[in-house]
Amino acid sequence: MTTDVRIDTSMAKYLAEHPGAHYLFFGGKGGVGKTAMAGATALWLAKQGKRTLLASTNPVHSLSGLLGQDVSGGHTGVAGVANLWAYEIDTRETIERSKNEIREKIQWFLKFADISTKADDFVESATMNPAFEESAMFENMVEMMLKKEYDVYVFDTAPTANARRLLGMSKVYSLWVDKMLRSREEARTLREMLSFTKKKEADPLLEYLLGFRERMGQARRLLTDAEKTAFFFVTLPEALPIAVITRFIGWFHEFGIPIGGVIVNMVLDRAALGADVPEFVLNRMQMQDDHMKTIREKFDGRVRAIVPLFDEEVRGTAMLGRAAAALFA
Amino acid sequence: MSLREVFESEPDRRYVMFGGKGGLGKTTLSATSAFWLASHGKRVLLFSVDPQASLSDIFQRDIFGKGPVSIMENLWAQEVDADRRIREYQEEIRKKILDMYGFDKVPEEIDNYIAAASAEPAMEESAIFDAVVDIIVQGDYDYYIYDLVPLGHALYYLSMAKVYDEWINKITKLREDMREYDKLAATLRREEKVQEDQILGELTYIKDRINASSRILTDRKRTAFFFVVVPEEMIILDTQKAAALFAKFDVPISGYIVNRVLPPDLGQGKIPPYLRNRIAMQQKYMEQIRVTFGDEIRSYVPEMERDITGLPMIERLAQRLFVDGGGAR
Amino acid sequence: MTDESKERGGLMKVFKDVVYGMASHEMTRHAVRTRASMEHLFILITMGDLLGVPILPPYYSLRLLPYVTPQIAGWKRRMLRERDLTDVLG
């Protein structure tokens, strides 16, 4: 393809140089083709013989649409492709579980305080919060990553906001948990001192806090491990998507999250244009050239692939195969 | 009815929102509508709370976190910096505690709480919510135009108003019960009067703000909510689903705007085959859009050959959105 | 009012206070105790997010924090030390 954006390290070369890269994330502005790029990468890896799970963390899932088969129920083998499974992370169960936990806590407290308010309204309200689903999604994702059932996990939609918040705030949160743990320890020692039986009691709250800190630590270690993890950012040769990934890359850099590189999607192929093309196409081409220049300046050495605009939507494994061929050219 | 006719026949609809999946051009269409209204003599505030939003990129100047910035006569634009808002708010709370109790420094335990609360995933969302209320209740603009964050969030966001209101009612009731006990204790002790409960005042304040915004968001007389859709199969399906959900939350939908329509005469020129295929694909989905959304379609907006950045380009798009695109097609 | 009646009023008042006080002592204590429980519930509802009980959006709970600052330490102690409460909170 005729663009002057240099690709030193291609997608294929990057993955060859990072044999331990088990977790690949695809992020970017809406509408740039994250799902298609994640799908193409997963397909390519599966064809290389890696057991691959393509998972969506996007609250508005589109993997089933991409693959033309329902993958919402659980890890589902992709029809006609060996080694490839797909899954739209389902948070309903996690949310239901948290709801029950919260309900119990609140009900107990209401009883404890002798208040005749129904807990259910509070529970419903608490779990309606958008952040609640997002957190559940993130927890499920980390849980999946830790299971290591596959050689490679490919995630459609990098949890940008969550990762950023987690890494930025985990220090503060750890501090709080540490304090809580200390108070709990004191309380336990005191109780054991007063107890006749001197029996060591189970302490569920302490366990919850320890478990929570542990999971956060693991997520942080995984997400910042440059050997295991890579975030790829997808853009179009257009102003707004470029601006968005510039911002993302800046944030991620700040928090030490490994950036795999940039994929430029839906690029018009100049070579395929004959003479005498309509002005619209020529202008579009001119705009693209300007943005490719920006991309070269901003992401020099980090562009991993330039993927053409196809004549149809990237849907189904045949189209994904075409996209993969371009992505790993 | 065209978009222009909607605005002309419903002058009370001063709160204008654009919704839809990420990447469909919500921000661009918000900016374009704001431009059109402003150039017709209306005082317009265009704002965005989406950290991925691109008003700065569209107007080609940095307005992030700077309050309402004058863009041209009658048009102001604002990008809310949620992080900074949270930081400043934390400072405000600390200062209030110091003032109220005459402390030299905020007790460590309380300070930890303030820091940890800001690490809560829900913090950003509720801060953004509050920022919107702030903007809407304070200003004296003729129109408020904003782009909602991607669909899932937009829905939650709208439902939050109701939920918050319920929360506050419950909490206020509890607080009022507490006050009854205060009174009882005071009577029994034969004390003159009960101290004024400032918390009740705070709760009323919060409730008023939330009610004001929820009224605006779901008010059929004052709110215009437009869905942006593009001629692609997945997007059409998602938009239908979203519209059904919005209806459930009583959000009045004022119509649909079809964006990114390839110019129909393009097919007559000498174009590469892939582009011809794309046009054919689009025509199929255009038909589907016409059947699905029918006379709820307010405008057809062509795919432009250049990014919509800078006022001259916005002016061109405004012509398409409000004049050319409004006719039946 | 005459001196006498003033004195009688005073005596009556003392008498009433004693009787009333004896009867109301329990009630007062009960009211105060219930009020304290409610205070803890209030803090739990508005700031309990960090014990895993998220109810009020944190942006608004911070707004209430200054008013309950003096009670926070006691609340936390109670939440953390009440044995059966913590059993549930796990």
Question: Which other chains touch chain C, taking contact as 3+ CB pairs less than 8 Å apart?
Answer: A, B
* The CA-based dihedral angle spanning residues B306, B310, B312, B318, taken in that order and rounded to the nearest 10 degrees: 80
What is the arrangement of strands in the sheet containing A152-156, beginning at the earlier edge strand? A76-77, A84-88, A52-56, A152-156, A23-27, A229-235, A259-267, A303-308
Cα radius of gyration rounded to whole Å, chain B: 24
**B17 token code pair:** 């929102």
**Cross-strand bridge partners of residue B255:** B226
Q: Give pLDDT tens digits for B236-280.
A: 988 888 888 777 777 778 999 999 998 877 877 778 777 888 888
Q: What's the CA gap between A265 and A268, in Å, rounded?
A: 9
Residue A180, chain C, CB below 8 Å: the answer is yes
Task: Please tell me the predicted confidence (pLDDT) of residue B23.
Answer: 79
Helix and strand numbers, DSSP H then E, in chain B: 11, 8
**E strand or H helix at B78, and its extent?**
strand B75-79
Count the residues in chain C. 90
Q: Is B109 close to C73, i.e. CB distance below 8 A? A: yes
Q: What's the CA gap between B86 and B82, in Å, rounded?
A: 6
Q: Give pLDDT tens digits for B108-121.
A: 878 877 877 776 66
Domains along the sequence of chain B with CATH: 3-81+125-154+224-324 (3.40.50.300), 85-123 (no CATH)
Q: Is B270 close to A278, i.e. CB distance below 8 A? A: yes
C76, C83, C88: residue with CB nearest A105: C88
Q: What is the mean pLDDT of residues B323-327?
A: 72
**Would you say B9 and B239 are in contact if contact means Cβ atoms under 8 Å apart?**
no
Task: Please tell me the predicted confidence (pLDDT) of residue C87.
Answer: 44
Task: Please tell me the predicted confidence (pLDDT) of residue C11.
Answer: 67
Residue A115, chain C, CB below 8 Å: the answer is yes
Q: What's the CA gap between A320 and A38, in Å, rounded?
A: 10
**Would you say B210 and B168 are in contact if contact means Cβ atoms under 8 Å apart?**
yes
Q: How do strand B75-79 and strand B69-72 relate by DSSP bridges?
A: antiparallel
In a 10 Å sphere around its CB, with 0-12 CB exposed, 13-18 middle and 19+ buried, how is residue B80 labelled? Answer: buried
**B203 token code pair:** 């709760």
Task: Please tell me the predicted confidence (pLDDT) of residue B257.
Answer: 96
Task: Please tell me the predicted confidence (pLDDT) of residue B151.
Answer: 53
Residue B237, chain C, CB below 8 Å: the answer is no
* Total domains present in chain C: 1
Task: Please tell me the predicted confidence (pLDDT) of residue A205.
Answer: 56
Q: What's the CA gap between A49 and B188, in Å, rounded?
A: 80
Question: Which other chains touch chain B, taking contact as 3+ CB pairs less than 8 Å apart?
Answer: A, C
Express as a percent the part of chain B with pLDDT over 70. Answer: 88
Q: Report the residue of B54, B81, B177, B265 to disrupt the A interface, i.e. the one with the largest count of A CBs within 10 Å.
A: B54
Q: What is the mean pLDDT of residues A243-255?
A: 86
Q: What is the mean pLDDT of residues B191-213?
A: 79
Give the 3-state secondary structure of chain A.
CCCCCCCCCCHHHHHHHCCCCCEEEEECCCCCCHHHHHHHHHHHHHHCCCCEEEEECCCCCCHHHHHCCCCCCCCEECCCCCCEEEEECCCHHHHHHHHHHHHHHHHHHHHHCCCCCCHHHHHHHHHHCHHHHHHHHHHHHHHHHHHCCCCEEEEECCCHHHHHHHHHHHHHHHHHHHHHHHHHHHHHHHHHHHCCCCCCCCCHHHHHHHHHHHHHHHHHHHHCCCCCEEEEEEECCCHHHHHHHHHHHHHHHHHCCCEEEEEEEEECCHHHCCCCCCHHHHHHHHHHHHHHHHHHHHCCCCEEEEEECCCCCCCHHHHHHHHHHHHCC
> CA angle B189-B190-B194, nearest 5°?
85
> CA angle A36-A223-A257, nearest 5°?
85
Predicted ipTM of the assembly = 0.74
* The CA-based dihedral angle spanning residues A137, A140, A146, A152, taken in that order and rounded to the nearest 10 degrees: -60
Domain that holds residue C68: 3-89
- Between residues A90 and A69, the one the model is more confident about: A69
Whether residue B223 is predicted with pLDDT greater than 90 in this model: the reply is no
CA distances, A94 to each of A3, A90, A100, A122, A141 (Å): 47, 8, 10, 18, 11
- Between residues B217 and A306, the one the model is more confident about: A306
Whether residue B144 is predicted with pLDDT greater than 90 in this model: the reply is yes
Task: Please tell me the predicted confidence (pLDDT) of residue A173.
Answer: 59
The pLDDT confidence band at residue B174, using thresholds 50, 70 and 90, is confident
Task: Please tell me the predicted confidence (pLDDT) of residue A112.
Answer: 56
DSSP string for B229-286: E-S-HHHHHHHHHHHHHHHHTTPPP-EEEEEEEPPGGGGGS---HHHHHHHHHHHHHH
Q: What is the mean pLDDT of residues B298-317?
A: 92
The crossing angle, in degrees rounded to 10, of helices B233-248 and B151-188 is 20
Residues of chain C neighbouring B202 (CB-CB closer than 8 A)? 63-64, 67
Q: Is C38 close to B113, i.e. CB distance below 8 A? A: no
Q: What is the mean pLDDT of residues B287-303?
A: 94
Task: Collect the ranges in chain C with pLDDT lower than 50.
Answer: 1-2, 83-90
In a 10 Å sphere around its CB, with 0-12 CB exposed, 13-18 middle and 19+ buried, how is residue B83 labelled? Answer: middle
Mean of the per-residue pLDDT values for chain B? 84
The pLDDT confidence band at residue A17, using thresholds 50, 70 and 90, is very high
Q: What's the CA gap between B283 and A55, in Å, rounded?
A: 32
Chain A with chain B: Cβ pairs closer than 8 A: 154
> CA angle B5-B6-B12, nearest 5°?
125
Q: How many CA atoms lie within 13 A of A67 on its CB side?
A: 27
Task: Please tell me the predicted confidence (pLDDT) of residue A90.
Answer: 84
